[in-house]
Amino acid sequence: MDLLSAASNGVAAARHLSSAPPEVNNAINTTLLCHSYTLQPDFASYFAVLKGNAWVIWSCGMLVLLMLCVLYIVTLRSALRYWKESCSSVAVVLAVYPVVAAAGLVSTVLPRVRILSEAVAQEAVMIAMYHFYFLIIAECGGTNQLVRKSEESHLETRVLPCCCWPCCVLPRPRVQQKSLTWLRYLVLQMPVIQGILYLIVLVLWAEDMMLYLNSFIYIQPFIAVSILSGVWGIIMCVRAAEATG
């Protein structure tokens, strides 16, 4: 008996001897195969699509980065003439531009490191905000001088982003060492909280792209609250400095 012909005639035969393999809808393997892909292309595919345009884009990005680095050095030398005692804070604040530009260039060349570049740029901005707070205090002559010049004035808490109802009922404490320390911690939480949150984001991203995409929506509110709180502290500090003249 010809088993192959029997299989073609509908006669029961061993499955592995069938002349035509059955069509199998391998949805699980297909899902796993697609699941292993990321949203960003790999470098080889990315470069193959851009071809010669890639060198033009990268060259323009490198040129912008070099210009920002030169501008950073020139600006830093000029700024240190007036803020010699706050040289580290000035250097950190001005370094935001070349650092963010470098992170953007890296993500342009390597699309799959976009999240890592975003984390570096975000943390650089948050650290610069903290040092910007120190520059404001230094411009007023320090915390002691700021408290003395304030003449028992009150800290303006009803500023952006807490300038509307129901934030209009926020208390307005006097400008004292305690309130300035509270402002400092309010700004300090930005680089700390953002660093922790983006560390969690990077762990999720390294573990599984879909896990990162499904979880990031729950992390975004914490990122927004942290940034808005820090900006609130910076604006209050600026208002206190303006009040002292």
Task: State whether 145 and 178 are in the same domain.
Answer: yes
pLDDT at 8 over 70: no
Task: State whether 231 and 154 are in the same domain.
Answer: yes
Q: What is the pLDDT of residue 155?
A: 84
Q: What is the percent of the chain where pLDDT is above 70?
A: 82
Cα–Cα distance measured from residue 160 to residue 162, given in angstroms and rounded to the nearest whole number:
5
Which of 124, 153, 173 terminates a domain? The answer is: 124
- Cα of 7 vs its chain's centroid, Å: 62
Task: State whether 152 and 220 are in the same domain.
Answer: yes
pLDDT at 17 over 50: no
DSSP state letter for 155? P
**Which of 14-28 are b and which e, b meaning 16 or more Cβ less than 10 Å from the residue's Cβ?**
eeeeeeeeeeeeeee
Convert the pLDDT of each residue in 52-105 to its tens digit.
888 999 999 999 999 999 999 999 999 988 888 888 999 999 999 999 999 999
Cα–Cα distance measured from residue 238 to residue 24, given in angstroms and rounded to the nearest whole number:
68
Residue 131 is assigned to a structural domain of this protein: no
Residue 133 is assigned to a structural domain of this protein: no
- Work out how many domains the chain is built from and give that number: 3
Containing structural domain, residue 196: 140-245
- Provide the 3-class DSSP secondary structure of residue 175: coil
Which of 89, 124, 159 terminates a domain? The answer is: 124
- Residue 6 pLDDT level (bands cut at 50, 70, 90): very low
Residue 134 is assigned to a structural domain of this protein: no
Burial of 39 (0-12, 13-18, 19+ CB in 10 A): exposed
Q: What is the pLDDT of residue 28?
A: 45
Cα–Cα distance measured from residue 71 to residue 67, given in angstroms and rounded to the nearest whole number:
6
Task: State whether 68 and 115 are in the same domain.
Answer: yes
- Provide the 3-class DSSP secondary structure of residue 14: coil
Q: What is the pLDDT of residue 218?
A: 95
Long-range contacts of 122-128 (CB under 8 A, 24+ apart): 122/194, 122/198, 123/191, 123/194, 123/195, 123/198, 124/95, 124/96, 124/99, 124/100, 125/96, 125/100, 126/190, 126/191, 126/194, 126/195, 126/227, 126/230, 127/92, 127/191, 128/92, 128/93, 128/95, 128/96
Burial of 10 (0-12, 13-18, 19+ CB in 10 A): exposed
Structure tokens at 236: 């209050």
Angle value at C-alpha 72, between 81 and 231, nearest 5 degrees: 90
Mean pLDDT of 175-198: 93
> pTM for this structure?
0.79
Which sign, positive or negative, has the C-alpha torsion 211, 213, 214, 216? Answer: positive
Cα–Cα distance measured from residue 217 to residue 35, given in angstroms and rounded to the nearest whole number:
19
